[in-house]
Amino acid sequence: MREHAYTGESLVCTLGGYKEPNSHRWGPGIRNIFAMHYIISGSGTLETRGKAHRVSSGESFMIFPHQEVYYYPDPEDPWEYVWIEFKGDAARRLVGMTSLTPDLPVTGKSDHNLQPLFDIMEPGNGLPHHKLRSAARLQLLWSYYAEAFPHAALVRQTDYVWEAKEYIHNNYWRTGLSVSEIVRFVAIERSYLFRLFREATGMSVSAYLASYRMQRACELLEMGTLSVQSVAYSVGYQDPLYFSKVFKKATSHTPTAYRMQHRVDAALTE
């Protein structure tokens, strides 16, 4: 059996390792951490909250903090497993992304072989880069559990309008951003996206992109530290003169006049 201890920050890996097939059992008792177990081979049973859950090869079970548990192997086919224990501010949020609960602390089989992803712990745990790597590996492992066994609230119909808006919010600064690129990213028929977008926002995709760029431009001008040219580049316009023309049409002010007006308004409120 190999074990390593690790202490980190908001997401803390406290222990992890491997158990070869044997008669190892634990409990009944409680722990103050989360402990995830992935069964490599064999089978066994987890008892908690008055229920017995049988788990076998390719399945997993979770021990929740402050929940009394008792787990033990099948005497005829004892389990072999890997496990990881963790806690911290982010731990409950990560677990909450999955279907695992104290009442249902087991999963079915995953399409992925999760065993290699349990190799999270590192010796020399006092070094900051070891802590970062361990936390990152735990999040990678948990991304597979969230994908294979998602919480019901996260299983929803794709929100194409949200995806289009999010893409605009992340890429508005790119001069070459086009409506065609947004449509390709969302990956639905162009006219269908346009209809959904207009129903949800009251405007076209191109109008929303232009409006968002102007909103960001106003925010940058209000900061008062960037030139008009820098603001133009920052919101996707290579030509400052064209940007000024578009900005005035949208706000009834030139960029310079808008910035000066904001300075006056700010001084009057001081």
Side-by-side strand order, sheet with 51-56: 26-29, 69-73, 43-48, 51-56
Quote the percentage of the chain above a pLDDT of 70: 90
Q: How far apart are CA 185 and CA 91, in angstroms?
A: 32
What is residue 133's predicted lDDT score, i.e. its pLDDT? Answer: 86
Q: How far apart are CA 75 and CA 50, in angstroms?
A: 21
Question: Does the domain at residues 3-153 carry the CATH identifier 2.60.120.280?
Answer: yes
Rounded mean pLDDT, 195-203: 92
Q: Can you give the residue ranges of every domain in the chain?
A: 3-153, 160-268
State how far the alpha carbon of 236 is from the alpha carbons of 96, 168, 216, 229, 231, in Å.
38, 11, 10, 11, 9
* Correct CATH for 160-268 of 1.10.10.60, 3.40.190.80, 1.10.287.370, 3.30.70.3270: 1.10.10.60
Q: pTM to 2 decimals?
A: 0.62
Q: How far apart are CA 247 and CA 257, in angstroms?
A: 11
Rounded mean pLDDT, 78-90: 92
End-to-end CA distance of the chain: 67
Report the chain's mean pLDDT, rounded to a whole number.
Answer: 88
What is residue 267's predicted lDDT score, i.e. its pLDDT? Answer: 52
pLDDT 10s digits, 14-67: 889 999 998 889 999 999 999 999 999 999 999 999 999 999 999 999 999 999
pLDDT 10s digits, 245-265: 999 999 999 999 999 887 755
Dihedral (CA of 94, 96, 101, 107) sign:
negative
Query: C-alpha angle 194/197/198, rounded to 5°?
Result: 85
Rounded mean pLDDT, 210-214: 96
Q: Which residues of 206-217 are buried (b: 16+ CB within 10 A; e: fewer)?
A: eebbbebbbebb
